[in-house]
Amino acid sequence: MECKEAIYNPICSKCLSKEMTAWLHNKDERLKRVVTDEVKKILYRSKFFENEICAICGNKGVFLCPYCFTEKVYKRLKREGSSKNILVEFLTLFNFDFRHTYLTKEAEKLGMF
């Protein structure tokens, strides 16, 4: 619904947010708050859409592809001035950029490739 592309990897925002919560477990409180705030905004929108079925939980409700979801969170991390280590770690775990566009270019800038 965001990028107008077909959702090839149907993972719902709730499942992605659970993965991000697990990643945040040992992180500082500020980072947790930043990611949680952004995820809450995304999840709020999800209440209004029921499209694809999630490949992980099986619930109907994939309205945003994993790429668009993670791109939103990544951009928020950058706006908030997150460290290079956090950005690299995030892209290592949550890069669904199969077309090698924005997130892949960001990874290249960070020296990941």
With 70 as the cut, is the pLDDT of residue 27 above it?
yes
pLDDT at position 112 over 90: no
Tell me the domain boundaries of the chain: 13-109
**What confidence category does residue 104 fall into, taking pLDDT thresholds of 50, 70 and 90?**
confident
What is the per-residue pLDDT for 87? Answer: 94
Mean pLDDT of the chain: 85
pLDDT at 107 over 80: yes
Question: What is the reported pTM?
Answer: 0.83
Classify each residue of 2-40 as buried b or exposed e, where b means 16 or more C-beta atoms within 10 Å of its C-beta: eeeeebeebbbbbbbbeebeeebeeeeeebeebbeebbe
